[in-house]
Structure 1
Amino acid sequence: MNDRVTKITKSVTRRSLIAAAGGAVAMGVLGRGAFADPIQDVLKQRATEWSDGFDAAVVSAPEVRTNVPIMSPDIVAAVENAILQYSDIVARGGWPVVPAEQGLRVGARGPAVTALRQRLIISGDLSVANGVSDAFDTYVDAAVKRFQARHGIPADGIVGNTTFAAINVPAAVRLNQLATNLTRLQMITKKVPDRFVMVNIPAAQIEAVENGYVAQRHTAIVGKVDRPSPIVNSKITQINFHPYWTVPASIIRKDLIPIMQKKPNYLTDYRIRIYDRSGNELNPAQVDWFSDEATNYMFRQDPSDENSLGLVKINFPSPDGVYMHDTPHKGLFNEEARFDSSGCVRVQGIRELIVWLLRDTPGQSREQIDEQFRNYQRLDVQVTNPVPLFWTYLTAWAMSDGVVHFRNDIYGLDGLELYAQTNTTPL
């Protein structure tokens, strides 16, 4: 255990220690004073023989979602407790590596399933009471779904490449992730407003929070690795219905020029107009697309169903020029890895968020907002009470009920490679 984690562990108050003991059941441990080694508990039990048909009981994955916002002082205390629990897991040797030889699902048998069961017991996803077996039964299916939900993976109960990668991240890495994110959480929760919007970039998720509770959650699409979404601390001030989209300079160079070299009608098909520095509109045929000439012009897309911003844009002051918006490509929200933008954030179900943001703005009832979405008329609405906005980078957090969440360090800001072991699947 490194010095940073040791210091954090020692600094946890008596209150946190008591809470950690209380929440240890969710992690498969009993607290520091009466720790039970989950692996030994499992090995001491009589191996359970399962029929060829496996367990026929209907078992569902325990709920891991709550209405408690991630930006909450309660989450800070929960992460402190999780650090104690994961410190004990690391001290006891961590968890076994699950051989990533083939996909595992209900009906599978073998040593890999035995290792999977042990791994899920140690992390608290599978009850010790279910016993040792080499069978992937419905109890394991429910435990895998719970694990997947905690790690932002579609909860289908199938252990494929993404789940193998997450399940074989060493316990020491997860412990240091918690320590790193505890520091971040302590900073951003020092003064939490009553009403705000929070975008968690690694989770590609949005929370609209009011009076300490999550009023809405939205799936998001955030920046690519080479075009990351920045950290933001601002206020939402304006909503643009049926906006124009001005193509950023980076996209002109990296995307638009190569597309026009292959598809000369692209700009016309997608209603993107070209303007020179004097505001004169140019014909695409006037531009030499096999040079950098296009970088001297402004490209603006007219409002339409094909507009890259969709039907609405959420504005806020930002030195990076980023914003939140709708998208015509709704299918992208179903992707497992939603890191596909050039830095801005796309919002699934954005209409509900707009209604929530404009609640206090005169002339913006639900009926009026619905009509504004339908009529295709350009309209800019100033938010009467600007809503605080935070784009954060949190790859690990915990809930007061003991559920611990992890996400991939997509931008490599956690420094976790120092703690990864060579015999496991890296982040």
Structure 2
Amino acid sequence: MFLKISRFTIFCLFIAFLFVSMSRQVDAHVFVVEESPASNSVSEESPSEVLIQFSGKVDKSFSMKVFDQNNQEILTKSATISDDQKTISIQIPALPNGHYQVQYYVISSNDGHTIEGSYLFQVKWKVQPSTNAENMKEDTTGGGVGKLEEAGNEADVITVPSAIEDKIDKNYFEIFNYSAKAIYYFGLLLLLGWLMIWQVIKSYSFELKKKFLFYGMIFQFLHLIGLVAFLLVQMNIFSAHGISFEFDFPLDTNFGKLWIVSLVLSLIGFLSLFKNQWLDSIWILLIGLTKSLNGHTQEFEPSLLLVGLNSIHILASAFWVAGLVFILLFWRKQQLYVKSFIPIFSKGALISIVLLSISGSMISYFYLPDREALLTDWGFMLLAKIVIVLGVLILGAIIRKRMKRGRLADLKSLIKLDFIFMVLLVIIVSILTSLNPLP
């Protein structure tokens, strides 16, 4: 039996490798198409505007600023966005000779993912105009884009003394962002899986069911807290980058609308869940579909297939996650019921891992632009996920082997290890969904 499962493991990994090796170019995810002035360009006169064009629609709330080589912000007119919401621009005054840095921050209208960056350009007048100090704001960052060091009439050198501080601030923000997403995913998967398991344990003791429903309420609150926390993190992102928060944000984006739908469904769940099998099933499908629509699936083709695959991925993960938590929570006081549940869970978990392997491989195929993308942060996280899934498959084979021999008492330590793998996977997914698959 172990040999059969090992062969199945190798087959799943081979399918995953096949999808990765056959990856092809995709161009649906939002990225920068054009910058004007161009990055690292040298202009013999001052540009009248700074313009950045993207491959897809971005939200109307965005930030774009220009700094001189002393890190003073250039006073500009209000930023504008084109009618098709693909191009942002700002009008700038006549600039004296020097290096300038453009900083921009936008949000994809479809999936809420952020696109941020900066680049340098140089103004080198043939005839130097007079400098207008009124066009400069005070340095409020405590650092500098760069100081100009001239060596005769040769090229200028730029240093960035504030880069380390900016990187530290960004790392802190990323930790908060990933933590909020992890809470959300744990709450989502636990609640969805808990509803599935509820249909299995309805014949168990009254005491167990009462405790089960209590945990179900906790997972509902965890799901709701995760939703609100992640939304608040998004708001902090925007304000931290100089984007003014308006009442209609984020309702004017698909990302925002879907999050509002998720919040409404979460609140409805407090009134309707664990009371009717059909209502539970409908709620599971709706919340799963809403989550699947809100992410990278809207930025890649074929989006309909990706939504379906992502829904399968979420539901399969939910049963596995909730099953592990159920076993660990009730092992000590309800061991007889847990032991009767383990064979059911083992079969369901095997099916879940099969679905996770197939759907995950196909999703990666559509997301990967080429094999070089595996060298990006997104690619490294994907490879880490594959390694852990391999560990889960091997561990699952060992658990099933011991079950066949009737050694259920020896399973708790293995299930704890499986739980650790699950936690690592959820954390990785929280990071993975925040990263851009494109290099």
**Into which bin does the TM-score normalised by the smaller protein fall?**
under 0.3
| Structure with greater contact order relative to length (CA < 8 Å, sep ≥ 6) | 1
TM-score, normalized by length of structure 1? Answer: 0.26
TM-score, normalized by length of structure 2? Answer: 0.25
The structure with more strand, counted as a fraction of residues = 1
